[in-house]
Amino acid sequence: MGFGSRMDCCGQFVKYSLFIANFVMFVGGAIVFSLTLWTLVDRSFVNELLGTNLFSGAVYVLLVTSVIICLVSFLGCIGAGKEVKCLLLSYFIIVALVFVTMLIGGVLGYVFRERVQQTMRQEMRSTMALYGSRREITQAWDLTQERLQCCGVDTWHDWNRYGPVPESCCQELFGGQRKECTIFPTITNLYNQGCLHVATNFIRDHAAVIGGTSIAVAILMIFGMIFSCLLFNMIE
């Protein structure tokens, strides 16, 4: 395998451009994998309150495709370095398929980013009635209020119709101790912000980072496909 004499300079440029593009793709795929894994772990405590599987679906799609991206970019590096046409052709086909999947995952992340507040308000209010009776709902609310330092949907008064304010609404002191707020709740002993606003920003930030990164990697994959196609045609 090799290049024609008149194509040596151009061929070498395309070859190393493809190698560099694949290296950056590998790094990008690893970043997307880390971000999606971080999001799955970090947002697990609000999973029961989301009210939609769209965000979870987008994250899992990107998690799988980011692993494939890392493997395929390695394949592309070998194909470019060894100048093997069958590897370049396989690389082009796989990258084209993953490109579509990656782009869909990124778009879903942004779609969820705009829909999050509409779905969460309705779902959060419906789950408040189940607090104390369903273990997963109770844990979700407690962890959400503790970690995001919020209380209720829009305000702590939302809990009045369902019973006493949960202890997870009470402001935390040093050493893990909390102020007493369940009997006489006031703005001085509990979290004042509603969880809808705080959780919405929390999820939006995660969705924006993942969606933006995946779209950037998908765009980079276009260059990988172009360079692989050019290199395939240049190899004798």
Instruction: Give residue 219's pLDDT.
Output: 79
Instruction: Give residue 108's pLDDT.
Output: 67
Instruction: Give residue 116's pLDDT.
Output: 62
Instruction: Give residue 29's pLDDT.
Output: 82
How far is residue 122's CA from residue 66's CA, in Å, rounded to a whole number?
Answer: 33
Quick one: three-class SS letters along the chain?
A: CCCCHHHHHHHHHHHHHHHHHHHHHHHHHHHHHHHHHHHHHHCHHHHHHCCCCHHHHHHHHHHHHHHHHHHHHHHHHHHHHHCCHHHHHHHHHHHHHHHHHHHHHHHHHHHHHHHHHHHHHHHHHHHHCCCCCCHHHHHHHHHHHHHHCCCCCCCHHHHHHCCCCCHHHECECHHHCECCCCCCCCCCCECCCCHHHHHHHHHHHHHHHHHHHHHHHHHHHHHHHHHHHHHHHHCC
Instruction: Give residue 137's pLDDT.
Output: 85
Token reading at 162: 């369902």
Token reading at 95: 């990258």
Q: What is the pLDDT along the chain (236 residues), one digit of tens a residue?
A: 555 444 567 767 777 888 888 888 888 888 878 877 877 776 656 666 665 565 666 677 778 878 888 888 887 777 777 777 787 788 888 888 878 876 776 676 666 666 666 677 777 888 888 888 888 888 888 888 888 889 988 888 889 888 888 998 998 887 677 888 888 888 888 898 888 888 777 777 777 776 777 777 777 788 888 888 887 777 76
Instruction: Give residue 45's pLDDT.
Output: 60
Residue type, 26: F
Instruction: Give residue 121's pLDDT.
Output: 78
